[in-house]
Amino acid sequence: MLKMYYGIEKSGGATLDPCDINGAHFEADTYLSNLIKQRSLTELMDEETKMVTQIRALDSDMQTLVYENYNKFISATDTIRKMKNDFKKMEDEMDHLASNMATITEFSGTISNTLQDRRQHITKLSGVHALLKKLQFLFELPARLNKCIEMKAYSAAVRYYTKAKRILHQYQHMASFQGINEDCNKIIHQLCDHLREQFKDKESSAKDLAQCVDLLLQLNEPAEKLCEEFLSHARQKIDEDLQLLDRQIRLQSGEEIKSEGETAAQAYLATPMDVLEFVDTGCNGFLSNICLVIASYNDMFLSKPQEDENMDAIALKKLVFFVNELMEKYFDYVQRRVRLERETGDNTILVRSLDRFHRRLQAMNKLLPDTDFSRAGTDIVSKAAKDRVYHYLQSLKQHFSDCMTDVRQNLAAPRTVGKHDSNSYLNDLLNNTQTAVVDQIKSVLNNLQAFLDSDITFAMKPYFRGPFCVQGVREGLIVAFLNHVSSTCLEFCEDKDKGSAPPALLLILSKLCIEFEASTISYLLTLTEEQFMMTERFPVTSVTDLCNNAKDAAQKLLNHFVKVQGLSISQMLRKSVETRDWLNTIEPRNVRAVMKRVIEDITAIDAQVGQLYEEGVRKERSSDSSRRTHPHSYMGSAALRKGGQWNYAPSIDNSLMSNIQKLFSEKIEIFSAVEFSKVSVLTGIIKISLKTFLECVRLRTFGRYGLQQIQVDTHYLQLYLWRFVSDENLVQVLLDEIVCSTVHRCLDPAMMEPSVIDLICERG
């Protein structure tokens, strides 16, 4: 059985191998014959040596075992011999005890027989003695109660009264007991008054209050009324804590609070506290006191058995209403104080204060399980974080506005710089603005990371972290600011107050939006998602939408820049056409100054745009020699008119012929969308300018020299404008239309020789 218990034997039973030296069926002869057959001489000698060693070890173990067992046998023999002696003494003592018990039994029987007749009388006398002692206690009760009240041993007085109250009430119809009962009731009323005075004393400790309530409950005072009085008394101290918080909020708001006769401590409290000190004051004062009130209230009213089963529910309801009302005020004060921290730049102190506030509220839930103040506290924390995000959004908007103001001031300031500096001035303004905006956003993100520090309790809560990171920081701050940048840039395209923005600012903003669309937007969103570890899946604004908004704003800004610059040059051309008497003008000898001014302005615009945008794609140009000797189409028609060769088709009007030619020419769209290149921008400005020139010419009537002056001016423009546009044929077509329209509006059309025009333009 032991072998089965220790698992020595297998389930198949004991082995029957006769060669198993450790088995029960071992046979030495068989084992030896097998060993001789199977082993060599060397192996047999080794086996012999091994067996000799084992035999010696077994002999040693056997000797040790025999020696140990021998000692145990000797010890056992001595123990048995000693036990025999002890049992012999015990038998003698048992015989002696039996004789004593018999004697005691005999004496007990004798006493019982002797006192049998007096037992009933003794019992009666004992009852009378106990009754007399009770009566003596009742007669002495009023004096005892007065003595206890004098010594302020209120608990002893209540104990004496509750001990005798039932008997006095039961025998109050007897005259003697009635007097004692009346005296005791008067004394107990005085005791209740003393207890209530101590109950209402502001200096009473929590232990004294608990003792007063316990004694009043033993005296059958209404528990509901005691609950109200206890909470009313407790509220006096708590209201003082709330008044201190309210005073601090008014001090922080800048109100002057005057009070006379202040102590040093009161004067210290009259100085504004930072938000961390404010929260510590609220936690150590208000929350500590209200936790003490809750704990005391539970011990006094909720932890004790009540005669009325509904009393616990009523008492709990009163406590919950009391605590909720005060906590609402406290939450309001904390929220107002936190709101005053909007204008500060650092979040460390604010986050630490919110963390302490959040920790203490979680402890409140354990004291009063029927309430959930942590949710309200989390709402305040989330609202504070949301306010900080909103504050930073406003600061980013203001910073961007300040950057725009700096750019405008730099553009308006007179500059005396070298050629190298002037070629990169706008690019430097752009880089400085972009760097300032990105650095400000990084600084804001670093400040907001204080809300997610590892030692902040609410930082890892999913109900705070997800909305704060995604809806607050990403959407409410970064996306909102990027949308603000796009919308602010678009406002410069409106013909309102911001329509007076300098054209260079429009150019810088358009390039800024292009830079945002190319890399800045994706970089800022990636940086935000990495710093705030956004893993929650919330609906968010895509990078594509933001980039499209920025590109759309850049396109509209560039279009507006072209429009503004084109209208500026157009205004000069319009005034130059409208203020001149083209019928009575003298023979042209020079290019008009306005044309030189137009070329100068366009050259300046070209240099300005070239600082920010690449050259762009141009169509293949003709050589300078062919450009200089290129005959205008109107010259051929004018020569025909001059030579009288128009008579071959007298029935066809000249204007009709011009319109028919336009049908076969490529249509020029004046206000088309501009590409993000210098050539495209200049082409748009020149198209607007020349189109204005053409329309102004159509409204005037010209004489011979007026026509020739237009020839000189257009040829001068053609000599310089071709290098700014993507297709020089576009300039050629518009200038041809201007001259052709002038011919149609001329009373005496006589064209100037091309060689003379070239000479005047070269001299000009």
Read off the pLDDT of each residue in 110-125 and give the average, rounded to a whole number: 75
pLDDT at 385 over 80: yes
Percentage above 90 pLDDT, the chain: 7
Q: Which one has a higher pLDDT value, 217 or 448?
A: 448
If we measure between CA atoms, which residue out of 381, 615, 404 comes closest to residue 509? 404
At residue 597, the pLDDT reads 92
Enter the tokens of residue 308.
């009325």
* Tens of pLDDT, residues 542-594: 889 989 999 999 888 888 888 988 899 999 989 988 888 888 888 888 888 88
- Among 56-65, 100-109, 251-260, 363-372, whose mean pLDDT is lowest? 251-260
Read off the pLDDT of each residue in 316-342 and give the average, rounded to a whole number: 83
Measure Cα distances from 122 to 115, 132, 135, 701 in Å: 10, 15, 20, 156
At residue 651, the pLDDT reads 34
Beta-carbon-side half-sphere exposure of residue 204 (alpha carbons within 13 Å):
21
Percentage above 70 pLDDT, the chain: 72
* Tens of pLDDT, residues 612-642: 888 877 766 554 444 444 444 444 444 333 3
Among the ranges 16-20, 132-136, 622-626, 688-692, which has the highest mean pLDDT value? 688-692
104 pLDDT band (50/70/90 cuts)? Answer: very high
pLDDT at 657 over 50: no
Read off the pLDDT of each residue in 62-79 and give the average, rounded to a whole number: 86
79 pLDDT band (50/70/90 cuts)? Answer: confident
**How many Å separate Cα 434 from the centre of its chain?**
26
Among the ranges 171-180, 256-265, 526-535, 682-691, which has the highest mean pLDDT value? 682-691
At residue 420, the pLDDT reads 43
Contact (CB, 8 A) for 529 and 649: no
Read off the pLDDT of each residue in 286-295 and give the average, rounded to a whole number: 81
174 pLDDT band (50/70/90 cuts)? Answer: low
Read off the pLDDT of each residue in 241-262 and give the average, rounded to a whole number: 72
At residue 575, the pLDDT reads 92
At residue 436, the pLDDT reads 92
CA Rg value for the chain: 56
- How far is Cα 599 from Cα 607, in angstroms, rounded to an integer? 12
575-591 burial, b if ≥16 CB within 10 A, otherwise e?
Answer: ebbeebebeebeebeeb
Query: Does the pTM exceed 0.75?
Result: no
At residue 499, the pLDDT reads 47
Helix (H, G, I), strand (E, B) or coil at 746: strand
Q: Which one has a higher pLDDT value, 1 or 638?
A: 1
- Output helix, strand, coil percentages for the chain, rounded to the nearest 5: 75, 0, 25
11 pLDDT band (50/70/90 cuts)? Answer: very low
Place of tokens 């500026």: 568
At residue 377, the pLDDT reads 79
Strand partners, 580: none
Q: Which one has a higher pLDDT value, 297 or 744?
A: 744
Q: Which one has a higher pLDDT value, 194 or 697?
A: 697
At residue 652, the pLDDT reads 36
- How far is Cα 380 from Cα 328, in angstroms, rounded to an integer? 12
- How far is Cα 342 from Cα 385, in angstroms, rounded to an integer? 10
Enter the tokens of residue 317.
């309801």
pLDDT at 595 over 50: yes
Read off the pLDDT of each residue in 285-292 and give the average, rounded to a whole number: 82
**How many Å separate Cα 642 from the centre of its chain?**
84
**How many Å separate Cα 449 from the centre of its chain?**
8
Q: Which amino acid is at 295?
A: A
